[in-house]
Every structure is written in C-alpha cells, then in structure tokens.
Amino acid sequence: MLKHTFRLIERMFHASYFDNFTSKETKSLKNLILFGSNWAYADLFVSSNFYLASKLHSLLIGTKMTISYLKKAKKTPQSGSDETRKIVADMLAKIEVGGEKTALAYGRDLDGYDGDAIVSAEIIAKSAERVSSQLKADIQFAYDRVTKFAEAQLASISEFETELSPGLWAGQKTIPIETAGCYVPGGRYAHVASAIMSVATAKVAGVTNVIACTAPNGKEGPNPGIIYAMNLCGADTILSLGGVQGIASLANGLFTGKPARMLVGPGNRFVAEAKRMLYGRVGIDMFAGPTEIAVIADDSADAAVVAEDLVSQAEHGPDSPAWLITTSRKLANDVMAQMDRHINALPEIARNAATLAWRDYGEVILCDTDEEAAQISDEYAAEHLEVHTKKDEWYTARLKNYGSLFIGEETTVTYGDKCSGTNHILPTRGAAHYTGGLSVHKFLKIVTTQRMTKDANREVGQAAARISRLEGM
C-alpha cells in the first residue's frame, strides 16, 4: 500500500501538479517523497504548505479538489523558523547560566529599560491613577465576561468517585497548579485584554501564585493599562520583562524564587519559540504565535465587512496570516479590491504591519463547494475562524479544526480578542488540529485515586498477578 501511495505521488509530480510551487521546501519534500521516505506524508501536513497537503490528501482519498488560489502567500507561518530557533536557544542558554543579571541585561538592550524587574506596589498605584475612568470601566466589562465564561468552564468538569466493582472505588480529582506564568505582550501594542484572558482565568481555576510578565515601553516601564488590568485580575507578582527574557524568568523563577509550572499567553515568534523549547520542563498552554484569521464566505457576505475583519488581524504584525476561503469569485475579487483601502486607513504602525502581512501571508482561495471550503479550512486549522454564509449552521456542525469560531457577521474576532468573554489565547500554526485555546482546564491537573476493601484487594491482585506474568514481570 505504501509503495502504491508513493507511485501515485510520483505521478503527481511528473504530471506537473505542482509546477507553481518551486520553493526550497517543496523541492525538498518532493525529493523525500520520490526517494521513498515513509515520513514524507506526515511531514507534508506539519509543514505549512497547506495547498500541497490538500492536493495530496485529495489524490489519496480519490477526490480531486477543484480549488484555485486567487492570491497565494509568499510566506508561510513556518518562514524564518530556523533563525528564530537559533536566536531563542542562545538567549535561553545564556539566561540559564547568567540568571537575573543576564535577563536584566537583555531588558536594557532590547527594551531600553533599566528599572527593577518587579513592579512595585507604588508603581501599581500610580498606574491606576493614569488609567481613565472609561478605560477602567471597559476593563471591568471584559473582566466580568471572561470570568463568567471561565467559571462556566470550571463547572463543566467535576470531581467524582465511582464503584467499578464490589469494594473497588476509583475517583477523579482536580488540583490547580501551584504557580502560573502569564505572559502579556506589551511591545508594538499594549495587549490589555491578554492580561485579563490569562490572569483572570488562572485565578478562577484556583492557581495560588500567578506571576504576570509584560514588556516595558522603554524607560517608562510597562503600559499603565496592562499593569492596572493585571492587578485587577489578581496577579500576585508583576514583572517588567518582555520577550524571551521574560519567558525565561518565569520558567526559572527568577526574581520571585517560584518557577512557573505552566506558561501561558500569546506573543511574537520569539516568545512562542521560547515556550516551545521550554515545554517538558514546564507546561505550556499551546503554540500561540503571531495571530491568524480565516474567513469562510459565500455570495451572501458583505465584502466590506470581510475585508475589514481580515485587516483587523493583519494589523497585529507583519507575519500575521489572513486567509479568505470562498465559493464566490465575485466576493473574492471585491474583497481583494478593498484591502488596500482598509489597510491605508490604519495608523502608521498598524498600516505598515498590515501591508506586509497581507502581501506576504495573505491568501484568497476559491472553492467550488461548501464541502471543499470546509476541507480547506480544516487543513489550515486557523486560530480565528469566521463564517459569513447562508449556511452558517451547516458550517458550525461540519468544521472541526479552529481555535475559536465566530458565526455570522454580527460577531467578529475583535470582540473575542477584547471583551466578549471567550478566551483569545488560541492555537496557531496548525496547533488547532490537536488542541483548543486557553481555559481553566489548562491550569488544572486531572488526577485519579483508588481505594478498595480486602476482598476487592484479593480479586484485583489475582488478575494483576496473571497480567504481570503474561507481560514477563
């Protein structure tokens, strides 16, 4: 079967299925396949060459997908990964050896901050004074909804004990982790909402010690709104450290003496890579790198709304993918025609980021059927997925892989990102294939217990002995 599969794949290449895909990654993959690597098919799906994956998947299941790219990304979420890994590995190693002194040095060099790492009670109080009453009310609005949703999540899982057989009881307990490290981006933008999403959720879960960390804005230190939100949500310690040095400080317990058992929060590619490298030594929520959006839309969608929603995520950074999956060529053309206008209306920093993001990572995919659109969406496994169609209910039931789903044009990613209640710390780079977003469950250990009577002990012991002997023990 494997040889037959590779012969089919070989025919695909020789039949020029991929003439338009001549990247180094694609050529390397082609060589792996043609020379018979058993892992090439798996590697294909974890690379971010989603179109190539869909073509291969369609051939193997006997259904050729009739999709076309009206706009193809020049880069993938994996672009630049090797360089990122090298930089992050070097920083983590140096901080491991140099400790707090090295972490502070990185803060001075990269963020222009030479103050104390721990944000004092005095600075917290002054930060609150600098936040307007309206913003305080808005932060409270978001906090109330995020907390309410997290409480509902907590109520969805319970402890129990059940009698499996006479005299044998097995149970489930939920134990909050002791220390959580919550990273809140504060560089290009002040992500106040990330403080609420991470810190408030950890506290609802029952985490005893929450250490929050954010990048300082030069000599002024962290954004006052972020500090205010962290404190409101219950952070026990706030660190003024960003990027890799912030993540390393949380994991190593620098400045607090309390190593984080779980690292959570979004960040740029360096933050995401630092979390990935530290995983195993410490738990992480997921791979939460640069933000992504996919929109599934048909001829009933409003092109202006779709374009605006795509831009609202592309503005986050120059490496933020924005994908439109549609069954309507007219809608696709209308959206593409409007993108520059929406991007040019942004403030300078956001405009520059969105321009690069749409140029390098933006895609428009035309599908013949709703099923094809759903298949492509599931292969991309976008962090944020919006559905603007006449068949929203069908898509809601059919779609399987996404971080968070926004159904209908009345809702949008921005609402979820800021204040509607669901968590905005979500899987990126295909991680939605195997995990959901941040929730109270990420801060809980689901453990088991058992107890039994003497009679049950004899019954279970005899079976355990026979199984042990079968296993050679």
Position 28 confidence tier, pLDDT thresholds 50, 70, 90: low
Per-residue pLDDT at 234: 97
> What rounded mean pLDDT belongs to the chain?
88
Distance (Å, whole) CA 389 – CA 402 = 17
The one catalytic residue in 315, 363, 383, 409 is: 383
pLDDT tens digits, 120-144:
999 999 999 999 999 999 999 999 9
Position 290 confidence tier, pLDDT thresholds 50, 70, 90: confident
Is 4 marked active-site?
no
The one catalytic residue in 384, 386, 388, 409 is: 384
Distance (Å, whole) CA 247 – CA 173 = 30
Is 384 marked active-site?
yes
Position 65 confidence tier, pLDDT thresholds 50, 70, 90: low
pLDDT of 56 > 60? The answer is: no
Task: Kindly state the percentage of the chain with pLDDT values over 90.
Answer: 79
pLDDT tens digits, 193-246:
999 999 999 999 999 999 999 999 889 899 999 999 999 999 999 999 999 999
Question: Where do the DSSP E strands lie in 121-252?
Answer: 160-165, 168-176, 179-184, 209-214, 237-240
* pTM, to two decimals: 0.81
pLDDT tens digits, 334-355:
999 999 999 999 999 999 999 9
